[in-house]
Amino acid sequence: MSVEVTGDPAPTGYERSCEAAGDVDHGRAIRDVLDRVGDKWSLLVVATLRDERLRFSELQRHIPGISQRMLTLTVRQLERDGLITRTVYAEVPPRVEYELTDLGGTLITLAMALADWAIENHPHIEESRAAYDAAHQR
Amino acid sequence: MSVEVTGDPAPTGYERSCEAAGDVDHGRAIRDVLDRVGDKWSLLVVATLRDERLRFSELQRHIPGISQRMLTLTVRQLERDGLITRTVYAEVPPRVEYELTDLGGTLITLAMALADWAIENHPHIEESRAAYDAAHQR
DNA sequence: CGGCATCCGGGCAGATACTG
DNA sequence: CAGTATCTGCCCGGATGCCG
Which alpha helices (DSSP H) does chain B contain, by range? 14-19, 27-38, 42-48, 56-62, 68-80, 102-136
pLDDT in tens, B94-120: 999 999 999 999 999 888 888 889 889
The chain B residue lying nearest A52, using CA atoms, is B22
CA–CA distance, B26 with A125 (Å, rounded to integer): 14
pLDDT in tens, A96-133: 999 999 999 999 888 888 888 988 999 999 999 999 99
Select from A26, A41, A50 the Cβ nearest to the Cβ of B22. Answer: A50
pLDDT in tens, A21-30: 554 457 678 7
Q: Does A47 contact B22 at a Cβ distance shorter than 8 Å?
A: yes
pLDDT in tens, A76-88: 999 999 999 999 9
A67 touches chain B (CB under 8 A): no
Average pLDDT over residues A67-81: 96
Tallying the residues shown for chain B, one arrives at: 138
A103 touches chain B (CB under 8 A): yes
- What angle, rounded to 10 degrees, do the helices at B102-136 and A68-80 form? 80
Give, for all 138 residues of chain B, the pLDDT tens digit: 333 334 344 445 555 555 555 544 566 787 788 888 888 899 889 999 998 999 999 999 998 889 999 999 999 999 999 999 999 999 989 999 999 999 999 999 888 888 889 889 999 999 999 999 999 876
Q: Which residues of B touch A115 (CB under 8 A)?
A: 23, 26, 30
Q: Does A81 contact B32 at a Cβ distance shorter than 8 Å?
A: no
